[in-house]
Amino acid sequence: MSNLLTISPSPHFKDKPTTKSLMFGVLTALIPTFLVSLYSFGIGALVTTLVSVGSCVLFEWLITKYMLKQQPHIADGSAILTGVLLAFNLPSNISPFIVMFGALIAIGIAKMCFGGLGCNLFNPALVARVFLLISFPVQMTSWPKPIESRLNYLDAVTGATPMAAIKAGDLSICENANFLDMFVGTIGGSLGEVSAIALILGGIYMIARKIITWHIPVSIIATVALFTTLGWLSSEGYVFGRKIEVIANLFESGIHPLYHILGGGLLLGAIFMATDYVTSPMSATGKIIFGVGIGLLTIIIRLWGNYPEGMSFAILLMNAVVPLINKKFQPARFGAPKTK
Amino acid sequence: MKLSTFKIGGVHPSGSKLSADQPIKVMPIPDTVYIPAAQHIGKPADIIVQKGDKVKVGQLIAKSSGFVSANIHSSVSGTVTAVGPVPDPSGIAKMGVTIKVEGDEWMEDIDRSETLDTNVDRFSDKEIIDRVTAAGIVGMGGATFPAHVKFTVPLEKKAEALLINGVECEPYLTADHRVMLEKSEQLMVGVKLIMKAVKTEKAFIGIEANKPDAIEKLTELSHKYAGIKVVPLALKYPQGSEKHLIKAIMNKEVPSGKLPIDVGAVVSNAGTAVAVYEAVMKNKPLIERVVTVTGNSVKNPSNFLARIGTPVRLLIEAAGGLPEDTGKVISGGPMMGKAATNTDFPVAKGTSGVLIMPEELAHRREPEPCIRCGKCVDACPMGLEPYLLSVYSRKKMWDECEEHYIYDCIECGCCVYSCPAARPLLDYMRLGKSTVMGIIRSRKK
Ligand code: SF4
Ligand code: SF4
């Protein structure tokens, strides 16, 4: 019987999570968000998500099998996840052909051209989104009104998102502030960005299950909160009893910080997009630097840039810096000599 | 109370201490024992018996061949039937002595009484070390480093404290746990002896919190022995690594490339301390040890006191036989133990346990692409970047391996344990580490 024993070098023990279980864990965390989007946007949300997931999986399969001539790994769930995240970054009344085109960009260009799972520099879903935003600016920024156009798909009644309205100089939306809507998700916007509570729930679930760590979401949200609060307070008048002229001049409009945090896909980005394993840094310090960078860039783009919401650009820009961050911010080393 | 532990990395595999409540059972003496000449790190001992020689229990049969080497004694009485290859877990037979057992006749100078002898003052530090050397004691946690080498503190250095490793952080293993419970007094005297040998007034016994009975019993006893303190530790693997135990207890980091003594620590295993007691107070060489035989499908997971050289097969039979679904037999624990090709290999001084794994857990998963999740980085207790180092090593980029401190790797396996993509990280770490160490050594020449 002795020749029946298996031998291999240690360790002989393994923790449970697998690539597949992690990917499906993220998908599970997205369920509440999906439910809210179905409630708010109805048929459009369903169709867009299905088309996006279907075409991402299809393209991945076709490319791996026929272009790379390898065994496709659809079961690992990464293509499904990219599909869901892409859909969640689109308005629900968008043409299915645009969605398919987006899927081709995400899988074909942003993922496979770089070498497939684990090798891409940029978040595939975001690359596709930004590509679509530039190619189809009109379709990408006409957002269906929530609830009332639930039963319509392409012919949905459209309205502005809070971020776009503010950018257009319409501050009325701030005056009749309704954070509750933003919190629950009955506002205009991309499929998956509207409900703060659902996104936060997903985030807590992922942190609790150790799928992600807190570093990236918390540092992004904290950075945005800090700077927008400073700006808000000083544009109202005073911070710490003093008016900080520089800051007051920079933030001329008094936008409540909660708008910045709850609106414009910030939570979707912070919790689900920026935390993508492949395109985020490795060490804890690196993750915090990455998060702070995204937070700052988002505010800069939102306040002084041309796009109403800077999240996607901010994440992509920081994606490009990840190799550098990984190089500079190595993990704390055990027994490192005190003085170099 | 907040339990102390080390800070960077570490993982929490489930304990699976199936045999924790099983008292130590004495294994019957087998018909034949196979005693390897290399049961320690360092040079194999020189065999001094010949075929046909009559030997007694405790008789020297192989002599230490240098400073970093250890004596080996016969664990049985009988006739030497062969001097030559004996079975080894690796499947490649190693040099050793085969003895056919006849009766159980001990050397006359061994005190076999059970009476506890606490008179430590009878011996000087030098005498203690001499007796430890003579008895062939090695680190019994699995590292098998000759104990007298550790206890000989270089003149220019000073031991601030002695740390006793009662952590047993490897899942499944319970040998040290049982020893701490059943040989508590002997352990305490052993600790006192080592304290004297290394000239320190302080000793800490580190025990993980999953052994509350051992913590309680030793804490109570420690009031009788001045200078010894029991430190309960939070559960975390690899807390039994010397460097991490020192960090957990003394909050000191052994600098890269240095030894525990450089931060004033001497670390010894709990089982070793009991062996020291027996060697010094009772003049008994290291001829038997406690071995855990365990596994999820093993009928009666047990702790056996077995003579060195007893074929492991007999221990497995005594624990209910090799289960039907066996796929792997591991000498040691699941994290750092060695998979064996056979069950004929003998119990050696460093055999802390035999773990039997079912077929479905015996195989590695097919590796998938690295998803750069950083879990290996978070898990590495040395603060290395296994995902990166394994790539450098695979591509033979030795300079980059060295720049990223591959030589710091303690081969604990935390990275592989936590990798969701089942990357064979440690295989490449080992390759890179040994190559880089070789390069560094050749540079010094
Ligand atoms: S085996 Fe080496 S690289 Fe892997 S976790 Fe342990 S020390 Fe780190
Ligand atoms: S744990 Fe595995 S998959 Fe994750 S970064 Fe390390 S090697 Fe890659």
Classify residue B91: in a domain, yes or no.
no
pLDDT level of residue A156 (50, 70, 90 thresholds): low
Report the alpha-carbon distance of residue A31 to residue A228 in Å, rounded.
30
Last residue of a domain, one of B323, B341, B363: B363
CA-nearest residue for atom 7, ligand 2, is: B387
Residues B170 and B273 in one domain: yes
Arithmetic mean of pLDDT, A317-331: 92
Does B154 sit behind a cis peptide bond, omega within 30 degrees of 0 on the bond before it? no
A180 versus B313: which is more confidently predicted? Answer: B313
Map tokens 């039994």 to a residue. B240
Chain A residues whose CB is inside 8 A of the B378 CB are 213, 284
How far away, in angstroms, is B431 Cα from ligand 2 center?
18
Chain B residues whose CB is inside 8 A of the A15 CB are 11, 13, 417-418, 420
Residues B431 and B288 in one domain: no
As given in the structure block, the two tokens for residue B345 are 């290999």
Report the alpha-carbon distance of residue A315 to residue A273 in Å, rounded.
8
Nearest to A192 by CA among A30, A305, A309: A30
A86 versus A238: which is more confidently predicted? Answer: A86
Residue B383 and residue A332: Cβ atoms within 8 Å?
Answer: yes
Quick check: A340 pLDDT over 50? no
The parent domain of residue B348 ranges over: 1-28+120-363
The pLDDT value given to residue A6: 86
The pLDDT value given to residue A67: 86
A216 touching B, CB under 8 A? no
Residues B290 and B387 in one domain: no
| Residue A204 near residue A33 (C-beta atoms within 8 A) | no
The pLDDT value given to residue A1: 46
Report the alpha-carbon distance of residue B295 to residue B330 in Å, rounded.
10
Report the alpha-carbon distance of residue A193 to residue A186 in Å, rounded.
11
Q: Where are the domains of chain A?
A: 19-328
A118 touching B, CB under 8 A? yes
Q: What percent of chain A has pLDDT over 70?
A: 81
Taking phi over 0 as left and psi of -120 to 50 as alpha, with beta for the rest, B227 belongs to left
| Other C-beta atoms lying within 10 Å of the C-beta of residue A157 | 11
Residues B391 and B284 in one domain: no
Residue A281 and residue B374: Cβ atoms within 8 Å?
Answer: yes
The pLDDT value given to residue A309: 67
For residue B423, the ligand closest to its alpha carbon is 2
Nearest-neighbour CA in chain B from A212: distance (Å):
9
A284 touching B, CB under 8 A? yes
Chain A residues whose CB is inside 8 A of the B385 CB are 282, 330-331
User: A69: buried, middle or exposed (CB in 10 Å: 19+, 13-18, 0-12)?
Assistant: exposed
Could you give the number of structural domains in chain B?
2
Question: What is the interface size between A and B, counted as CB pairs within 8 Å?
Answer: 162
A187 versus A202: which is more confidently predicted? Answer: A202
Chain A residues whose CB is inside 8 A of the B368 CB are 18-19, 73, 76, 117
Residues B162 and B182 in one domain: yes
Residues B242 and B208 in one domain: yes
Sheet holding B203-208, edge to edge: B228-233, B203-208, B161-166, B265-269
Arithmetic mean of pLDDT, A313-327: 93
| Residue B42 near residue B322 (C-beta atoms within 8 A) | no
B60 versus A258: which is more confidently predicted? Answer: B60
Residues B163 and B259 in one domain: yes
Pocket of ligand 1 (CB under 6 A): B 379-382, 384, 386, 409-415, 426, 429
A68 touching B, CB under 8 A? no
Report the alpha-carbon distance of residue B264 to residue A335 in Å, rounded.
15
Mutate which of A2, A3, A5 to test chain B, going by most B C-beta atoms within 10 A? A5
Residue B430 and residue A9: Cβ atoms within 8 Å?
Answer: yes
Report the alpha-carbon distance of residue B171 to residue A33 in Å, rounded.
40
A22-31, A152-161, A298-307, B169-178: least confidently modelled range: A152-161
The pLDDT value given to residue A239: 57
Map tokens 């004996």 to a residue. B86
Residue B372 and residue A9: Cβ atoms within 8 Å?
Answer: no
The pLDDT value given to residue A243: 58
Classify residue B209: in a domain, yes or no.
yes
Residues B238 and B259 in one domain: yes
Residues B424 and B286 in one domain: no
CA-nearest residue for atom 8, ligand 1, is: B380
What three-state secondary structure class fits B354? strand
Map tokens 């704390």 to a residue. A332
Arithmetic mean of pLDDT, A55-59: 95
Mean pLDDT by 10 residues, chain B (445 residues): 84 90 94 94 92 94 91 95 92 92 92 88 92 93 87 90 93 94 94 94 94 94 92 93 94 92 94 95 95 94 95 95 91 93 93 92 90 93 94 94 93 94 94 93 84
Last residue of a domain, one of B341, B363, B385: B363
The pLDDT value given to residue A247: 57
Classify residue B180: in a domain, yes or no.
yes
